[in-house]
Amino acid sequence: MNSFKISAPLFLLVVMVLFTTSAFSQNSNFHVYLCFGQSNMEGQGVIEEQDKTVDNRFLMMQSTDCPNLEKTLGSWYPAIPPLSQCYTGLSPADYFGRTMVEKLPDSIKVGVINVSVGGCDIRLFDKDLYLEYDDTYPEAWFTDKVAGYGGNPYQRIIKLAKLAQKDGVIKGILLHQGETNTGDENWPLYVATVYNNMLEDLSLNAADVPLLVGEVVHENQQGKCASMNAIIATVPKVIPTAHVISSDGCSVKSDNVHFNAQGYRELGKRYAIEMLKIVEN
């Protein structure tokens, strides 16, 4: 019986072709950002006409199936809000991405993945503890959101991030959460656990993937959870690659917990400005 042998040069050529095909399936000029948190990252701003057109270099990966938007889970679309779920509003992620593509070279595309749950405790994103926090509020408005992410928001963002890594490179993680954890001085430690889990599960290095953490509604705008900002300010002491984004002066809704559309636009720009500083360094 004849045996087939492949020569060493031919073997090396096959390996090079396979490696090249694999390497070029990922576009290093496609920068992906993971966004998570509670209602302010979810997006509570009214979507206005100015928000309905977007540069084709800014994309979003759909994080839930949304027949009403004709969008399916795990697919890329132009980043026209809402960027999370099916019936949310404008969020910081919107004008983060818009500002990034405005400032970056034309060769760079930006994509965001937004998995957020209004009202959640940060530990809903702890892969070991999430089942203890998936019913923080027993009402359907909360439980339906969690169910929309398959009952495990953390696993949903990791699954989508792994899909995105086939297309581009994850460059940063954006967090806006804290209202539900107001006053809990262990919050930075909870955040560190989630961030480190994300890095490990996605084979990322902290030095290459900073964490941008937004303040809640500021004291000077009568923010009901404003005392949390003092705790948020300590995150960089626990996570050296974390950066705090000021909410000072970002306009708010009458509930003094959520930003309004203009406030989200400004806050999103601030996330982007900070990220651009990091990129330039």
Please indicate whether residue 258 is annotated as part of the active site: yes
CB count within 10 Å of CB 73 equals: 17
Tell me if 238 sits within 8 A of 192, measured CB to CB. yes
Please indicate whether residue 31 is annotated as part of the active site: no
SS3 content of the chain, % helix, strand, coil (to 5): 40, 15, 45
Q: Which of 31, 39, 51, 176 is catalytic?
A: 39
Q: How far apart are CA 120 and CA 235, in angstroms?
A: 19
Helices 92-103 + 261-280 axis angle, to 10: 40
Q: Which of 7, 107, 254, 255 is catalytic?
A: 255
Nearest alpha-carbon partner for 198 in 52, 36, 46, 58: 36
Pairing verdict, β 76-78 and 58-61: antiparallel
3-class state of residue 250 by DSSP: coil
Q: How far apart are CA 34 and CA 164, in angstroms?
A: 10
Phi–psi pair at 107, nearest 5 degrees: -75, -10
For residue 65, give every residue at least 6 positions away whose Cβ sits within 8 Å of its Cβ, in sequence order, or none: 71, 72, 73
Dihedral sign for Cα 91, 94, 97, 103, please.
negative
CA distances to 124, 170, 225, 268 from 230, rounded to whole Å, are 22, 29, 10, 21
Phi–psi pair at 241, nearest 5 degrees: -95, 15
Please indicate whether residue 203 is annotated as part of the active site: no
Would you name the residues annotated as active-site residues?
Answer: 39, 255, 258
